[in-house]
């Protein structure tokens, strides 16, 4: 099924063109950089561990798992009341009730500029209103979200905590923010803290340990020399893949670019070479 969010760096394009790269017979599907969960929703695993450092995002997933009909009702109210004034009023509030919190998060995601998630230094969401007005879709399957999430454990935490549980029989899909060396630009401010180059180095160390424990790993990252250098070891195969950029605000900036996938079970042509499972 399709994700319920639009997300910077979302991987719908990856699953539509390269689904053969995914490992679909794992004991557990683990995603430590969940975002909109495009790979998770496509794979539809029975058992999953899903996490992201973004607490608001994880709250939305937990409420769709536990209280999807209440979230739908709260979203329908946002749908009816949506206007420019209403958007900024909702944006300025921080509801405590988890259902209201989840509905606010999904409402803002669907109506803000380009589905971006950006907060100021105090952690307050500050993306302006966009042009989209549809808050609940006619054919939207809220029960489907609940079913998909039934076997998923959801946590808000740093990637290292989630990767540390991965071992034999697990599939780890790893999609960090695309920081490259010497370039901590604004686009990478997903949260209050920038994902830095030292986080990229910390990530490779965590992944090497998980690979030694027997996990099958697929990483997405920027097609940049520093990433090829960072994963230069016998443990990893790295492959360039083409994608069409869909998040640019104007079609004149949308063009095909390349990214890389890095794996310990695919060869450089994307064929499975490790058949342990």
The binding site for ligand SAM (CB under 6 A) comprises 7, 9-11, 32-33, 35-36, 38, 52-54, 158-159, 175-177, 190-191, 195, 199
Smallest separation, CB 192 to ligand SAM (Å): 10
Smallest CA-to-CA distance from 94 within 61, 66, 123, 69 is with 123
Q: Whose Cβ is closer to ligand SAM: residue 7's or residue 142's?
A: 7
Smallest separation, CB 52 to ligand SAM (Å): 5
Q: Whose Cβ is closer to ligand SAM: residue 26's or residue 82's?
A: 26
Q: Whose Cβ is closer to ligand SAM: residue 51's or residue 70's?
A: 51
Smallest separation, CB 106 to ligand SAM (Å): 14
Q: Where are the beta strands (DSSP E) in the chain?
A: 28-31, 48-52, 152-156, 170-174, 216-222, 237-244, 256-263
Q: Whose Cβ is closer to ligand SAM: residue 35's or residue 45's?
A: 35
In whole angstroms, what separates CA 187 from the centre of its chain?
Answer: 15
Smallest separation, CB 67 to ligand SAM (Å): 22
Q: Whose Cβ is closer to ligand SAM: residue 82's or residue 215's?
A: 215
Q: Count the residues in the chain.
A: 277
Q: What single-letter DSSP state applies at residue 104?
A: H
Smallest separation, CB 195 to ligand SAM (Å): 5
* Cross-strand partners of 52: 156
Smallest separation, CB 132 to ligand SAM (Å): 17
Q: Whose Cβ is closer to ligand SAM: residue 54's or residue 70's?
A: 54
The two three-digit tokens of residue 250, written as one number? 């104007």
Angle between helices 55-66 and 98-111 (to 10 degrees): 110
The two three-digit tokens of residue 48, written as one number? 């999953």
71 burial (CB, 10 Å; 0-12 / 13-18 / 19+) is buried
């Amino acid at each position: 099924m399709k994700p319920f969010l639009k997300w910077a760096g979302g991987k719908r394009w990856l699953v539509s063109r390269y689904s053969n790269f995914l490992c679909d017979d794992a004991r557990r599907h683990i995603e430590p950089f969940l975002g909109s969960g495009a790979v998770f929703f496509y794979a539809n695993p029975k058992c999953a561990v899903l996490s992201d450092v973004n607490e608001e995002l994880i709250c939305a997933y937990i409420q769709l798992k536990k209280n999807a009909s209440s979230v739908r009702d709260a979203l329908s109210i946002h749908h009816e009341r949506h206007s420019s004034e209403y958007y900024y009023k909702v944006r300025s509030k921080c509801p405590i009730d988890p259902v209201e919190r989840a509905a606010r998060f999904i409402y803002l995601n669907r109506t803000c500029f380009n589905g971006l998630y950006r907060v100021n230094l105090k952690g307050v969401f500050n993306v302006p209103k966009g042009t989209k007005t549809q808050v609940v879709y006619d054919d939207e399957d809220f029960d489907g979200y609940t079913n998909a999430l039934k076997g998923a454990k959801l946590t808000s935490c740093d990637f290292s905590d989630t990767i540390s549980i991965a071992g034999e029989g697990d599939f780890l899909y790893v999609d960090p923010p695309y920081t490259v060396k010497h370039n901590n630009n604004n686009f990478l401010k997903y949260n209050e803290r920038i994902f830095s180059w030292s986080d990229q180095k910390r990530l490779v160390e965590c992944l090497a340990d998980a690979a030694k424990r027997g996990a099958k790993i697929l990483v997405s990252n920027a097609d940049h020399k520093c990433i090829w250098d960072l994963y230069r070891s016998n443990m990893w195969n790295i492959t360039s893949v083409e994608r069409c950029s869909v998040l640019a605000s104007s079609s004149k900036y949308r063009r095909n670019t390349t990214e890389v996938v890095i794996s310990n079970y695919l060869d450089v042509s994307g064929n499975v070479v490790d058949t342990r499972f």
